[in-house]
Amino acid sequence: MLIVYLSLTGNVKNFVERVGMDSVELNYSNPLTEVDQEFIVIAPTYDDDITDVISSFIEHKKNIHFLKGFVGSGNKNFDMSYCFNAEELSKKYGKPLIFKFEFSGTDKDIMQFKKEVSSIEESRAQPQS
């Protein structure tokens, strides 16, 4: 599973590097990158512009057809706004919010994230009845 992410402070990038999966980092000023495989988006929590930037990527060419879900990164001190960008994207595109982590995530977060991704991969490999 490909990870597509946006990182402005380096926290999300640090998390993705520690996960060790194939990834694509979006450019904030030009997110129009095309992908041709299933992916999960990791969205940081900043402001409404983040939702717009990631939406531009998702709606670019055929990217939306490969979208499997969202992960949010944020700071729990923001209370109700914690991971709001990922939550908004999940609602907008009707895809699951798979996971949330704070800052760069812990080792436990990395393990849990990998478990969630494996579960998605296994479920799509199951024959449909």
Number of folded domains that form the chain = 1
Judge whether residue 126 has pLDDT over 70.
no
Domain, as residue range, for 21: 2-125
The CATH number assigned to the domain holding 73 equals: 3.40.50.360
User: What's residue 97's pLDDT?
Assistant: 97
112 CB contacts (<8 Å, ≥6 apart)? Answer: 99
Beta-strand ranges (E) seen in the chain are: 2-5, 23-25, 39-44, 67-74, 97-102
- pLDDT value of residue 108: 97
Q: How far is CA 113 from its chain centroid?
A: 11
Q: Mean pLDDT over residues 48-52, rounded?
A: 94
Q: Residue 125 pLDDT more than 80? A: no
Task: Give CA–CA dist 103/20, Å, rounded.
Answer: 17
Q: 3-state DSSP call for residue 78?
A: helix
**What pLDDT, on a 0 to 100 scale, did the predictor assign at position 124?**
74
Model-level pTM? 0.93
